[in-house]
Amino acid sequence: MEQLDVQERKRIWDNIESALVDEQIDQFRTEFLELHPYDQAKIFEEQQDSIRVLIYSYLSPEEFADVLEHVDSDRAEEFVTEMNPMFASQVLAEMSADDAVDILNDLDKNKVASYLTIMDEDAADEIKQLLHYEEKTAGSIMTTEFVVIHTNQTVKEAMRHLRKEAPEAETIYYIYVVDVQKRLVGVISLRDLIIAEGDFLVADVMSERVVSVPVGEGQEEVAQKMRDYDFLALPVVDFQNHLLGIITVDDIIDVMDEEASEDYSKLAGISDFEGSNMSPVTAAKKRLPWLVILLFLGLFTASIIGRFEATLDQVAVLAIFIPLIAGMAGNTGTQALAVAVRAIATGELDKVGKSSIILREAMTGLIIGVSCGILITMVVYLWKGNFYLGILVGISVTATLIVATVAGALVPLIMHRLKIDPAVASGPFITTINDIISILIYFGMATAFMNLLIQ
């Protein structure tokens, strides 16, 4: 089914809204439930509180569970808390356990306890198991809704079991095999199971080469492993290799989106990613810590320039090129930072090594620096008619770009070595540090060659 664009959703919603207003429940249900759950969710999110309340009353918990699984994660908490508590608990019980846990982790613990108390006992027990795991680990994003078969079953028995359990499973493309002690020993694809002879034992047709992840593995590492192997699902095991759950590709896509947003916000000097519904006061609180630090670093930069006041008094034209040199240093440093952080995030760092990345960035900085240095030397000479000033600015740009590029790559690698999230080596931080480096290089060289500049 094609994804609806905004105008098409509006047209469809106008029809659905008319049915709601006129209390034509059957017409509403017919038109609304024909849509893909994603489009249902997008239409639902655009509605006012009073309309959403009507939708809750016209849909069953099972039907609305599909909608809630597709709404924006930043708003799921809002929708759950505005529902009738009994209806909310039933909706959560109908959702995939891992999706329900994602929502409950954002709620107040007292509310979570209340929902679990009035929820169906089996669903509550399943959710409680996942709530125990630390956030952003394999255990916190896995689902326990999967099909498992045993080594001593025949293919015919396994198929009968699969038909029985498949309606409740999140995916059946991979069927995992356990031994009598419930340890993961193999995997068999749905295709291989279908084409196998019915009287064969599962142990004879399964593959024993199973790739799995520990329950405490970080979600970034899990996403990387699933990407490397192109899996649709990945089993999660404990330290004794007991099968605890599986992680499906849709959850990994959510993880990758979450991690990308988080890294982007840190690179921009923001502590957490800011959604469009965040208030200005909250957004300001999240941005202020970095900006206050950068403010004092900026004052330090200003004090450095102040130390070269005598140099500026003698050759005032030097001030013209301060923004140029500082800006170039900040830009190239941020580019190198992005390359280094990406190498860490994608696992490239482990393949090529730190020295290779630093050397590559140093050579890149050298080529960029020399190219820009020669160009700016010619421009300054033609503009100001002072050959030595052109040489000074050109050499300063060359040296600054080399140092800034190496610094941009080195800082996140050092942080990674110290077990600090390299994304906190944010763009604004690198820019400010490189401002200081560029000013020291520029005015240090200007002071050393003052006699040539004032002739």
* Backbone angles phi and psi of 248, in degrees to 5: -100, 160
Residues 248 and 171 occupy one common structural domain:
yes
221 vs 237: CA distance, rounded Å: 15
Q: Which of 242, 82, 94 is nearest to 167 (CA)?
A: 94
Report how far Cα 418 is from the mean position of its chain's Cα atoms: 22
pLDDT band at 276 (very low <50, low <70, confident <90, very high): low
pLDDT tens-digit profile of 31-67? 888 888 888 898 888 888 888 888 999 999 999 999 9
Domain boundary among 141, 171, 205: 141
**Max avg pLDDT among 135-144, 281-290, 345-354, 407-416:** 135-144
Domain boundary among 225, 257, 289: 257
Q: Which of 280, 244, 416 is nearest to 345 (CA)?
A: 416
Count of the separate structural domains present in the chain: 3
Residues 365 and 447 occupy one common structural domain:
yes
Residues 296 and 422 occupy one common structural domain:
yes
Residues 399 and 286 occupy one common structural domain:
yes
- Please state, rounded to an integer, the average pLDDT across all residues of the chain: 84
pLDDT band at 108 (very low <50, low <70, confident <90, very high): confident
Assigned domain for 284 exists: yes
Assigned domain for 399 exists: yes
Provide mean pLDDT across the span 230-234: 89
- The CATH number given to whatever domain includes residue 208 is 3.10.580.10
Residues 13 and 128 occupy one common structural domain:
yes
Residues 218 and 152 occupy one common structural domain:
yes
Residues 132 and 173 occupy one common structural domain:
no
Contacts for 203-211: CB closer than 8 Å, 24+ residues apart: 203/151, 203/152, 203/177, 205/155, 206/151, 206/177, 210/176, 210/184, 210/185, 210/186, 210/235
Determine if the pTM surpasses 0.95: no
What is the pLDDT, as a whole number, of residue 246?
Answer: 92
Residues 163 and 115 occupy one common structural domain:
no
What is the pLDDT, as a whole number, of residue 262?
Answer: 65
Q: Dihedral, CA atoms, 143, 145, 147, 150, nearest 10 degrees?
A: 80
Domain boundary among 118, 141, 164: 141
Assigned domain for 231 exists: yes
Provide mean pLDDT across the span 388-413: 88
Q: Look up the domain containing 316 and give its range.
A: 280-453
Residue 236: its H or E element: strand 233-237
The percentage of the chain sitting over the pLDDT mark of 70, rounded to a whole number, equals 90
Assigned domain for 359 exists: yes
- Cβ neighbors of 208 (< 8 A, separation 6 or more) are 185, 186
